[in-house]
Amino acid sequence: MSSAQDLPTPETPLSLRTPTRRGLLSLVAGAALAGRGAAAAEPAVGEDGLYHEPWFLQSFLDLCEDLESAAAGGKRLAIMWELRGCPYCRETHLVNFADAAIAGYIRDNFEVLQLNLIGSRKVTDFDREELAEKDLARKYGIRFTPTFQFFPPSVDGLQAKDAMAREVARAPGYLKPPHFLAIFRFVREGGYERGSFRDFLAANG
């Protein structure tokens, strides 16, 4: 697994199973966005105090299902961990995701599932263990927000692996826009199969 921790100068972070179900969520999300019109492009702050991008994955919180659905659409699955009041989470939304080129690349190539570091929603992990968000975060050693986890293009073999070995890359803490886009490219282009994120940055300018 590669990590964005090998960046030269990182910012200091803060400490369906069936198509019918998936289709229903997509229909509901699409209707909500249509109703919001032009404002749909702007992130909204939810009752949980987190910014929510209108294009984030609407999920039943089954990670196997989410990864398989992403793969069926030719995309990769990423999890974004956030926390109420986190200034770097806010920066990610209002600066990084506000960049049309960055947001467009991520939307075209990834499904992003947003989870709360101290949340209580139940999530079904790849090994079928059901945990509250906060307990899942502990299981995967998530300590900073924002943190992005990136997973393989297939669920094959994931259940048998230790939790920390299931990722192909992790970005703990805030990344400036150029490096932020680069970590998504690193995963999408399979850079982790050839070397570290630092190697990828050096090779791609």
Show the 3-state SS of the chain. CEEHHHCCCCCCCECCCCHHHHHHHHHHHHHHHHHHHHHHHCCEECCCCCEECCCCCCCCCEHHHHHHHHHHCCCEEEEEEECCCCHHHHHHHHHHCCCHHHHHHHHHHEEEEEEECCCCCEEECCCCCEEEHHHHHHHCCCCCECEEEECCCCCCCCCCCCHHHCCCEEEECCCCHHHHHHHHHHHHCCHHHCCCHHHHHHHHC
Confidence band of 3 (pLDDT split at 50, 70, 90)? low
What confidence score (pLDDT) does residue 43 get? Answer: 81
Residue 27 has pLDDT above 80, yes or no: no
**Integer Cα distance of 124 and 139 in angstroms:** 12
| 154 or 4, which is more confident | 154
* 38: pLDDT strictly greater than 50: no
- Are residues 57 and 113 in contact, defined by beta-carbon separation less than 8 angstroms? yes
Q: For residue 29, what pLDDT is reported?
A: 44
Q: Give backbone dihedrals phi and psi of 77, rounded to 5 degrees, phi first.
A: -100, 130
Q: Band the pLDDT of 20: cuts 50, 70, 90.
A: very low
pLDDT tens, residue by residue, 113-131: 999 999 999 999 999 999 9
156-196 pLDDT, tens per residue?
999 999 999 999 999 999 999 999 999 999 999 999 999 99
What whole-number distance in Å separates Cα of residue 174 and Cα of residue 62?
Answer: 26
- pLDDT band at residue 41 under the 50/70/90 scheme: low
CA 3 to chain CA centroid, nearest Å: 14
Tens of pLDDT, residues 53-110: 999 999 999 999 999 999 999 999 999 999 999 999 999 999 999 999 999 999 999 9
Distance CA 154, CA 143 (A): 26
Residue showing tokens 């490219």: 185
Res 16 pLDDT > 80: no
Provide the pLDDT confidence category of residue 47 given band limits of 50, 70 and 90.
confident
